[in-house]
Homo-oligomer: A and B are copies of this chain.
């Protein structure tokens, strides 16, 4: 696998950090998840758990090992130190400064492992006026500008339903770690990588930010209509809605030809994207009048043949029954040795030669205590004593 031989010590919990280390684990890194001995990652208790195991936890913690460690105790810290001495990467999503307070600030880490790549996923960044504030996805969506542009024109700002700021910040963190590993292979040097929930969402404002920078004009909420292209959006077929996304003149002309509305080519008010944008209600009405004469399936088939991007709005049941989703294996079943079958999301990054695979089921809390601690030299007796005293 891509990351064979890379060892990651993973202090993360909830979502942003575990999403980062999930990618590293899926690509073959050995990820040792360190959890609090009492309860472990809070996500273990979140979401539905039909086999006594949270599917939410499973999805983002497959392929990882789990050990428990009381990091308030000096013995717990000593074990973390030993683990870090064998590690390539350390990831945490504590608030800034917590690692310093625990005795694992930057200088301490450099003494333990000079070429360590250390990553902190934060709410707002390592420093600055809000660095100490708590943050969660919803706050990042609100404060990044993302919510202000989302939603219908006549409705309040709307978040995206999934916790995308956690997911984007986590995936950026994995990207930064991998870039630092590329550098380490060249220079032998470690690095400190940080991503923040709010920055991550701001980085996704794309042309909305670009146009704001260019003009100083605030982008408006446009619902399902594109902020630059028209026609573009949801249209009304005989049996429901169909998404049609012709992004430029070429696709627009293909669309009207496929709809047998070639006469619209000559309409002065539809000649350019700028004019169609101005006359969006008018062009949409022309298209809808035709589209509503046939069912969704008719248009999907016809428009795809004509090369016009289009699709049905699928609910999750339809998504995971869809032949392309199945072909791409975006739903995977893991046979857990004690909890039975659990389904998780598949791998969105495909490699031809050494693909991502499920090489370990999601771990029970502390499932790898004995194996991992023996690897760093602890005797069975010492491990039993730590367990008795609830250090692990």
Contact = CB atoms under 8 A, between A and B. Distances in A.
B309 A200 contact: no
Contact of A171 (B130, B172, B233, B318): B172
Contact of A193 (B162, B192, B200, B351): B351
Interface stretch (A70-78, A139-147, A262-270, A275-283): A139-147
A155 interface: yes
Nearest to A129: B323
A290 to B, nearest CB: 19
B328 A128 contact: yes
Contact of A182 (B185, B208, B348): B185
Interface size bracket, A side:
35 or more
6 contacts: A48-B214, A128-B324, A136-B247, A157-B241, A158-B158, A172-B348
Interface in A213-256: 213-216, 218-219, 221-224, 226-228, 232-234, 241, 243, 245, 247-248, 251
Interface string A110-151: 000000000000011111111101111111111111111111
Given A176-B350, A212-B317, 20 more contacts: A5-B186, A15-B206, A49-B214, A138-B243, A139-B245, A142-B313, A147-B313, A148-B315, A148-B316, A152-B155, A156-B224, A157-B234, A158-B224, A175-B349, A179-B349, A182-B185, A199-B346, A203-B330, A205-B316, A218-B315
Nearest to A194: B350
Instruction: Say how many copies of this protein the assembly contains.
Output: 2
Contacts of A156: 224, 234, 241
A263 to B, nearest CB: 24
A258 to B, nearest CB: 12
